[in-house]
Amino acid sequence: MSSVRSSVVRVIARVASAPEGPESLLASIGLGPVADPLEASRELVSESAYYDLIERAALPDDHGLPYRYAELLDPDDFSALGIGLKTAPTLRESLHRLVRYILLLSDTLEYSLVDEPGSTPTLLLVRPAHRRGAQLANECALAAVVTMLRAAAGRRVVPRGVSFAHPRPSSITEAHSFFGCPVSFDAGRNALELDDALLSTRARLADQGLSSFLEAHLEQLRSEQAERSLVESVHATITDLLPDGLPKKAVIARRLGISERTLHRRLAEDGESFQSLTTRARREAAEALLADSRHSLAEVAFLTGFADQSSFQRAFKGWTGLTPLGFRESSAGA
């Protein structure tokens, strides 16, 4: 299951608009009230718990939480990754490091930098937006990138444009105020458009020796984290992407940084196939969602990548011998 480091969650709890305080919010997902940066960089919070906390932290009419979060954020909160971003030679290199090493902070999202001659440099964020917590998390993520760029540049950085894939909230005043540029919603993508000249700017704390040391350290940490078995990684990535529809093998391979052919070969070596892992991920996700009566059958079908409820019902009965409703009733009686 995908997760987020508690260093992110702890900052969000501090800027909550909900009447319950930060300690209560953190306790609701099993975190203690205090953690030093090193400890927080090791604590993991599941993706679902992360979204739960954001939804509890932000009152229904609170659209400014992502921007209070970004304003409060200190790159040092993110340990080696934050320091590595600040000390990169240029802002462009900071973004390249973010794309490569975001895995150290969270494996719930993916960044990519489109930076070709003659085009507007654009940082893209990929993460489902199937619930309010995920939508707010996406706003938090792009706002945090801008905070990191401002810290690296030592001045206020203003993107050329910002866009989000999820629907427009009732107020976007806070978003416009924070970014200082046009912000669009229902845009089909989550993206920061930036100036080429800006990305060529030398970072204020650029230090070649420290930067090289930190990059080597980040690479080591990334390699250690990537040692999780490929089967586990594929299963977790499929589960994460199901709300956006059944993911293709090429998409999973790209997110894991390997070719389709390599993915097929390595799964076969472990006695698995992409199809078997997809089926297992859908079944396990469906069973977990059905155990929670807050989700309608139509919602469960959507969240497990089915186009409609009838196709989900047929598949589920084929997996378990029970209809989704029958499974839910049997689970409730257990």
More confident residue, 243 or 176: 176
What is the β-pairing status of strands 161-163 and 183-184? parallel
- Asked if 12 contacts 54 with a C-beta cutoff of 8 angstroms, the reply is yes
Rounded to an integer, what distance in angstroms lies between the CA atom of residue 262 and that of residue 147? 37
Domains of the chain listed by start with CATH number: 3-222 (no CATH), 230-333 (1.10.10.60)
Grouping H, G, I as helix, E, B as strand and the rest as coil, residue 192 is strand
- Asked if 136 contacts 130 with a C-beta cutoff of 8 angstroms, the reply is no
pTM score of the predicted model: 0.71
The arithmetic mean of pLDDT across residues 150-166, rounded, is: 96
Rounded to an integer, what distance in angstroms lies between the CA atom of residue 73 and that of residue 62? 19
- Asked if pLDDT for residue 38 goes beyond 70, the answer is no
The arithmetic mean of pLDDT across residues 228-241, rounded, is: 82
The pLDDT tens digits of the residues spanning 276-297 come to 999 999 999 999 899 888 889 9
Confidence of residue 39 (pLDDT cuts 50, 70, 90): low
Confidence of residue 312 (pLDDT cuts 50, 70, 90): very high
- Asked if 257 contacts 266 with a C-beta cutoff of 8 angstroms, the reply is no
More confident residue, 170 or 34: 170
Rounded to an integer, what distance in angstroms lies between the CA atom of residue 104 and that of residue 4? 9
In the block, tokens 């973010």 appear at: 98
- Asked if 79 contacts 38 with a C-beta cutoff of 8 angstroms, the reply is yes
pLDDT (0 to 100) of residue 43: 80
Average pLDDT value over all residues in the chain: 90
Rounded to an integer, what distance in angstroms lies between the CA atom of residue 210 and that of residue 232? 34
